[in-house]
Amino acid sequence: MKLKKVSLLTIAGLSTSIAISAPNISASDPYFNDNANSVKQKDIIVKPIDLELNVPAWVAMNYRTGDIVSQNNMDVRRAPASLTKIMSSYIVASEIKAGNLTWDTMIPISHNAAATGGSKMYVKAGAKVSVRDLVKGMDVVSGNDATVALAEYIAGSPKAFTELMNQTAKAIGMDNTQFANPDGLPGGEQYTTAHDMALLARSYIYNFPEAYEIYGEKGLVWNATEQKSVSIADRKQCLPKFDRTDGGVISSYTASNLDDATKNKCSKLFPTGDKFVLQNNRNRLLFTFDGVDGMKTGHTGDAGYCLVSSAVQDSERYIGVVLGAPSSTTRELESTKLLRYALTKFENVLLYKANTPITINADNILNAKSGQKITVASDQNIYKTVPKNYVPYLKQGVAFDSSIKAPINKGQVVGNIVITVGDTKEKIASIPVTAQNDIAKKGWW
């Protein structure tokens, strides 16, 4: 792996160079900034060029670092619409991870859930549907009926579930979000921001990778008679011409040249006389943008057309959020621009690896005995998202706290490693460092 060199900067007596690289890093890697052992995500990188989108609010966030690479009105509150369901899905995934549910748990469908208006997966009152199918209905086709059914089962009522949603939002750090219901339908005081939705998406992808995969499914084939789903692959094999979205009845197989074994399989998956509904995923980027694998659309009159999307290219993932687009077409076009901008204009670099010692002359420390050297280190990484070709302009130094003076004890916090941009002294990262050795106080003679 070829390393890049960062140029020099002298701050409070330190002049040093560091080697940085952009390795392939998984979510479980210690370089993943989980806000527990790394630079905080509020360090925002300056955009290399202006990005203009035809939406009132947007944000693009690097998944690994949490750094923002583009934004406009990202903290302005707006109606969430069906983006609300990302939080509902988050709670379901949390319950599964905690062992309170399984993907195969059968959920009873109430009359209230089945009668919920708006977009549907078409569950029937009195039926029992698996958690997996209901999550597909919620995530893939934005089924309000599926969402309410899950909320009722987990918390007893949509109201109690909404309280859990708001508690979870606070825990994630969604400071400008309030939910009024599990599905995002108009009613009550509800709002979110592009920034908060990016935080939610990032936490979801990191904590629940198995559940997140459902967002990448391109459609839902629903047996409305037997209340269970059939895979898209099986539908294409058995019924390649079936595209009914209104409960079409299966009367014959449209696939040709099926062998006996396949015909037998198809007859079991698609019984003659059963009603089936085929709905495509409402996230059109799954069909138009290579690397997109999620996440969720939303639309109401107040919210406009919204989309939380995520894409991976060259092992790098970005999360894009657009809110308030004037049309579904604009939502898709502007989300495409946003993701493409992030994926092509930025890179991740390791500016400081945790516990790397830096040794410098201690003569500039107040009251220090001359001729000593001090070694400092931090237990945190500085792993940042920066514009491509930006690295040569970054400078590193150590800034000692103004109150620091000898004697200094090993383990004492003495200052910060600081990363700045060129000679502008624009700080993009700073982490505390501790002394790795004692520094003696100078004598009186």
Binding site, by residue number, is 296
Among the listed residues 70, 82, 229, 310, the single catalytic one is 82
For helices 144-155 and 158-172, angle between their N-to-C axes, nearest 10 degrees: 90
**Upper half-sphere CA count for residue 181 (Cβ side, 13 Å):** 16
**Upper half-sphere CA count for residue 130 (Cβ side, 13 Å):** 12
Instruction: Tell me the two tokens of residue 102.
Output: 């399984």
**Distance between the two ends of the chain, CA-based, in angstroms?**
53
Task: For residue 375, give the nearest of 394, 391, 361 by alpha carbon.
Answer: 361
Q: Annotate 297-340 with DSSP letters as a single string.
A: EEEETTTEEEEEEEEEETTEEEEEEEEEESSHHHHHHHHHHHHH
Q: Is 275 marked active-site? A: no
18 three-class SS: coil
**What is the Cα–Cα distance from 12 to 47, expressed in whole angstroms?**
29
Q: Is there a contact between 383 and 65 (Cβ–Cβ < 8 Å)?
A: yes
The annotated binding site for substrate is made up of: 296
Q: Is 369 marked active-site? A: no
Q: Is 142 marked active-site? A: yes
Among the listed residues 70, 85, 119, 335, the single catalytic one is 85
Among the listed residues 88, 142, 310, 378, the single catalytic one is 142
**Residues assigned a catalytic role:** 82, 85, 142
